[in-house]
Each structure stands twice: as structure tokens, then as C-alpha cells.
A and B are shown apart, each in its own frame.
Chain A
């Protein structure tokens, strides 16, 4: 899709974008544009209010944080809810679990996807259409459909309530296989053929010659998979039980739910400890993040 190429490479589409900007600048009347801008900024403010409310409520005493009418400028400050949150759940342990699971799934699933994409793009072998067709068919089937058998598999091999149980099923990402195959196909064969003549094996060709060529696709996929794994709630909620082994989304849920039943200020403190680092990462790497996610969403 053309949409994706403009997302990944950005530059080529800059020209038309700017010209389009000038065109619409001529067509919209100045007051109309300012009204439009004001309306959109208002929409943006409204979209951010839930997050802002969480942040300010987490640093005020409960009576003030949840006062009616709401006070949008905090008048008092306390960190007691943060202390409560850290006492109620093993927050840093759960943070570490989330980091470990996300990092492992991102790195290993991309290696697995490259191993699958390379032969599908570069080698000729009996059964290639079948293998490829099976992967494509799997793209059509929603993930939640396989939960029951996968759960039974994990229980049978003893991977429930273990971080491995969160990592291993995430290693097969058909979207990544499909995307990487597409991008490998677009790299000129002469490049790898020359290396092969020089005696490089297939593994070396893949990891030294072809890898740089699929770099943008890999980083976009890494962002997409990281975001999905970091936020996953369904699987850890289903298979994990020991609080010290939970990942953050389930930890937060346990904090508010029956297990701990903490007051909202405490929950908001824990939510803020997740949201603030995320907000910093997002502001620093906004372009990469949005483009990475849009890229995986459109480039199929």
C-alpha cells in the first residue's frame, strides 16, 4: 500500500503534503481556520483529561483529588498514595517482569520471524506455497480463538504461573513473518548473491547482508509487538497467580479488584507510575512510535 511507504520513508511524501497545505490555506478563510484550530485543541484537551485527572488526583489527599466540583489545579501535594501503592503490590518486581517479558518477546519473536521469512522470500523448495498459505490463513484467525487449547498446552507442559508461559506463545507472530517476507522480497537479489559467491552461508547472508535492508520494518514491528506485549492483560490474567510473577496491567487490576481493594487514590498512583514513563518515552519518540504502529497497521 502506498500509505505505508509514505509512513516508513516519510520524505518522498513531504513535497505533496506541503503543497496541499498551501492549497488548503488558500481555500479556508482565516477566521474559519482559527475556529477549527480552537475546536481541535479542545478535542485534544478532552482526550487528555482522563490522564491529567489521574496524575493530579494521585498527588493530592483523597478528599481534594476527588472533590466536587473538580479542582483542575492541585492545591496540596502528597506522595502518600505512592507509598501505599508500593506497599500493596510488589510494583518494582512487576515492572521488572513486564520489562523482561516484553524484551524477550520482541527480540526472540523477531528472530523467529526472520528465520521463517528468509526461506519464504529467498529459497525455492517443495511445499513453499503450502507453508506460506498456512501462515496467511492464520492471519485471518483472531488470536482469542486459540486460547482454550493454548491454555491446556501451557498447563500440560507446566508453564502456567511462569514468565516463560507469557513469553513462549508470543514468539510466533504471523504478521511479522508476512511483513518481513515482503520486505526481503524487495531487496535486490544481486546483493545476497554476491555475498553467497564469496562463500557466505545463508545465516550470514540473512543476518549481515539482508538485516540492514529490513531495518525500518524491524523497528516498526518491534514497537508494535512491544506495545501489545507490554499492555497484554488477557494472558497474564489467565495463567499467572503469584503476585511476584504478575506483569503490570494485572498488578494494577489486582490492586483495585478484590485481591487488595485499594482506594482510588492508591490505584491512580500506581497507574501514574506506569503512565508517566510512557508519556516521556512517547514525547521523545513520538514520530517513531506512531509511524511504527501505523506502518504495521497498514503495510500488509
Chain B
């Protein structure tokens, strides 16, 4: 969170010191770049230059075999006219909004509730079971769910029927339900992370704030609204950025459970990049989708920080 602040401080500090001791700085520069040589080379090869290359490639038409052809912004125009990519964009936005809301609400409710539990054993059990799916690989977890929601192999439909549901769909084959299953899967798989982060945030709220609120006659709900939520806001901002960025790049569950189908009803943007670039060999168009994904994530992240100035409460006594 101190990112912009510390960059600023560095600029000032270096500015002043260079004037004072140029010789020392020059000697340190040699050592510094000696240290930095390997990291910078790796950075350029696998992060820095590829970022620029993605931008450049997005203005070309290239299938990796014949020479690339410069097409300007044609690929960006094509994005609008490709129904599958437009669908992938809608799917990913829906998935992300649902994921962020469910993760934040779920994590807050569960974290507050877990702290009120009486028994330490029960508390340990809940923390363990909620967090564990986070550690299983998305591929293995997707395989489990693929069969779990299957009408023939799984048990989900059996219990829903016992609860009175009728004419249950084949969840992953039905266009109207497939995306919802993937949203629930993602909640099960990654809620543990948001939960642990929020729990840590709750534990760092100073007790005296609650005592002061109680002296002022605040009830439990008012304490939650006026102490817990504001004090938790930096944590919530962070959790929301992380889950937003994670959800927007979702790939595995779609790739493994639905292949993006039925139709394009669960196709995600990263899946669209994958299929466009590595199955259809449309490197330019694939790069264009990448640029859009990066731009959306960067813009939302920056927007969240800017907007957060209004409601995020940083000075925590």
C-alpha cells in the first residue's frame, strides 16, 4: 500500500545524495547493477519485453509460420465482430463480479462467525476445511467437481431431489447453469484465501475501539458497521483487488470441466487467448485479447485505489 509513497521518497533521497557524493554513488552503481544483472535479464526476457511484444503483436496478423503482416488496429476492430470473444468478455465479467461479491461477503460472514465460536476444536476444524481446497491443484479439483455434479456419477442431484427439486438439469451441459456451477466451484476452491486474509485483518483491530463504541451505547450490529468495517477496509480493498484479478484470469475450471461450452456459454477471456493463439494460430488476435485483459485489470486496480481514498480508513492507531 505504501507503493506510491516509497517511490516518491526514493526519488528525493537519490536526488539529494547524488549531488553530495557522486563518487560513492558511482562505485555503488557498479555493485548494484552487478547484483541486478541476473534479475534484470530474467525480467526483460520473461516479463518486460513480452509485455511490449504483446502490444506490438496485437497490430500484426501472424500464424507463426508465414511472415507477420502489419495490420494496424484491425485486430481491435475484429474483437468487436467476433461473437465468441464478445461472449467470453461477458462471461468473464459476470464470473468476476459474482466471484468478488461472494468472496467478500462469504469471507466477512465466516470470519466474524468463526471468531465467535465457543469450541477451539470446532474453530480449528472450520478453518482447516475452508482453507484446504485452496491447496489442491485446480486441475485435480476440477476433475472432482466434474463427476460430483454429474447426474450419473455424482451425488448433488440425489440430494437436491431429496429436498424436493424436480427435473434437474445436467448442470455442465445446460447453457443456463454451467457458468453458475463454475462460480460455485471457484468459491469453494478459493474462499479459504479471502477468509484467512479477512481473519488476519479482524485480529488486528484494536480492542479499545470496540470498548469506546460500547461506552457510546453502540450495539453489536452498530459496532460491526462503525468499527469493524472501516477498520477492515484496507484489508477488504486488497482482498477485492486480488480476487478480482484472479477471477478475471480464470482458466482451469472452464478448460477442464466445460471446454468453454456448451456453445460459448462458459468461455473465459484467458481461454479465448489460449484457443485463438495456440489452437487457431492467430497470434495477433490472441495478443489483442491479452492487451484488453491487461488494460481492464490495470484500470480496475488503479480505480479501486483511487476510489478507496473516499472510504478506506488507513490510520489505525
Contact = CB atoms under 8 A, between A and B. Distances in A.
Contact of A131 (B40, B199, B220): B40
B278 interface: yes
A78 B28 CA distance: 66
A153 interface: yes
Given A146-B51, A253-B143, A293-B134, A138 B43 contact: yes
Interface SS of B by simple majority: helix
B52 to A, nearest CB: 8
B113 interface: yes
Given A21-B115, A27-B220, A153 B135 contact: no
B136 interface: yes
Interface string A260-300: 00001001100100110011001100100111011001101
B163 interface: no
Contacts of A131: 36, 40
B293 A51 contact: no
Interface in B1-47: 1-3, 7, 10-11, 13-14, 17-18, 24-26, 28-29, 31-33, 35-36, 38-40, 42-43, 45-47
B143 A138 contact: no
Contacts of B136: 51, 231, 274-275, 278
Nearest to B191: A47
Interface residues of B, number: 116
A147 interface: yes
Contacts of B3: 136, 300
Contact of B140 (A5, A45, A274, A291): A274
Contacts of A53: 144, 148, 155
B122 A144 contact: no
Chain A interface residue number, banded: 35 or more
Interface in A116-146: 116, 118-119, 123-129, 131-136, 138, 140-146
Given A43-B126, A148-B286, A234-B252, A271 B32 contact: no
A36 interface: yes
A166 B43 CA distance: 16
Contacts of B13: 124
B223 to A, nearest CB: 9
A50 B148 contact: yes
Interface stretch (B77-85, B95-103, B164-172, B294-302): B294-302
A66 B56 CA distance: 52
Contacts of B25: 124-126
B126 A41 contact: yes
Contacts of A279: 132
A16 to B, nearest CB: 4
B135 to A, nearest CB: 6
Given A1-B235, A48-B132, A142-B248, A112 B197 contact: no
Contacts of A21: 115
B117 interface: yes
Contact of B42 (A7, A124, A172): A172
13 contacts: A1-B234, A47-B133, A48-B129, A113-B39, A128-B14, A135-B43, A141-B298, A147-B277, A151-B278, A252-B139, A294-B193, A297-B196, A300-B1
6 residue pairs, one from A and one from B, having the closest CB atoms: A149-B50, A116-B39, A125-B29, A119-B32, A146-B50, A231-B137
Interface of A: 1-7, 13, 16-17, 19-21, 23-25, 27-28, 33-34, 36-37, 39-41, 43-45, 47-48, 50-51, 53-54, 66, 68-70, 112-113, 115-116, 118-119, 123-129, 131-136, 138, 140-153, 168-169, 171-172, 174, 177, 182, 202, 227, 230-234, 237-238, 248-250, 252-253, 256, 264, 267-268, 271, 274-275, 278-279, 282-283, 286, 289-291, 293-294, 297-298, 300
